Amino acid sequence: MDADLTPEAPAESQGQTDAVTELLGAIGYAELTAGLRMAADALAAPGLGVRVWMGRASSAELEHFERIVTRLKEMGQDPETVMEPFIAPVDAFHERTRPRDWLEALVKIYVGDGIARDFYREIAQHVDEGSRELIESVLQVDEQDEFVVGAVTDAIDADPAVAGRLALWARRLVGEAIAQTQYVAVEREALMTMMVGGQQAGVDLADLGRMFTRLIELHGQRMGRLGLTP
């Protein structure tokens, strides 16, 4: 045999597996709650069209949730146990970001969904193959940004003051999302290491900060598409 052997893939460490499990638990509960909240917010939407769109967004989130539950079971985990620690921070995020009207609700879906996608793309590189496939399948679900862009643009045309209010709202959403993610990450070293792509313990908040910076840049581009100042 040739001496030019390809290096063996390193065996997955227990820490890595635990981190992926935690990550799926966090994402799973976040998707479940996002789906249920969207549906609740949809009931306050003025027209049938908006209600239907928000109902579809809700269904998509609940479907992601089901895929994560399936994956956790494949990994021999109990989904409820794994999600339990993330109930408090996710619920806190939503308590602190209750939309005052359906327009804020739409922007919340747009901003939240966008950041979630970018976050998934970041972490997809650092997880095992089965989990990567799951994350990529979730990313393939059709993006329905056009509807939000149209609705927000129309609302700003009708009342330009809306732009300032929604820009502030979007900033608050991102701030709260980052705050809650930090709370979760600082208490879980293996999870934080994996999220920033580190190979061993010893990553710090600065690494996490750099990932947030990348996410905020992409968020800014999305805000621009809405016609809002990031």
Of the listed pieces 35-43, 98-106, 138-146, 191-199, which binds a copy of itself according to CB under 8 A?
35-43
**How many residues of this chain interact with a copy of itself, rule: CB under 8 A?**
28
List of residues 6+ apart from 57 with CB closer than 8 A: 38, 109, 113, 144
Among 20, 35, 151, 166, binds a copy of itself (CB under 8 A): 35
52 contributes a contact to a copy of itself by CB under 8 A: yes
Instruction: Pick one of 15, 17, 63, 230: the residue that binds a copy of itself (CB under 8 A).
Output: 63
Specify the residue, 9 or 48, whose C-beta has the smaller distance to a copy of itself: 48
Q: Which residues contact 15 (CB under 8 A, 6 or more apart)?
A: 190, 193, 201
In whole angstroms, give the CA distance from residue 217 to residue 19. 26
Three-class HEC string of 76-109: CCCHHHHHHHHHHHHHHHHHHCCCCCHHHHHHHH
We find the least distance from the C-beta atom of residue 34 to a copy of itself, in angstroms, to be 11
Report the C-alpha gap between 113 and 208 in whole angstroms.
20
The nearest distance, CB 51 to a copy of itself, in angstroms, is: 7
Among residues 12, 13, 46, 80, the one that binds a copy of itself under rule CB under 8 A = 80
SS3 state of residue 151: helix
Chain residues binding a copy of itself by CB under 8 A are 29, 32-33, 35-40, 42-43, 48-49, 51-52, 55-56, 58-59, 62-63, 65-66, 69, 80, 83-84, 87
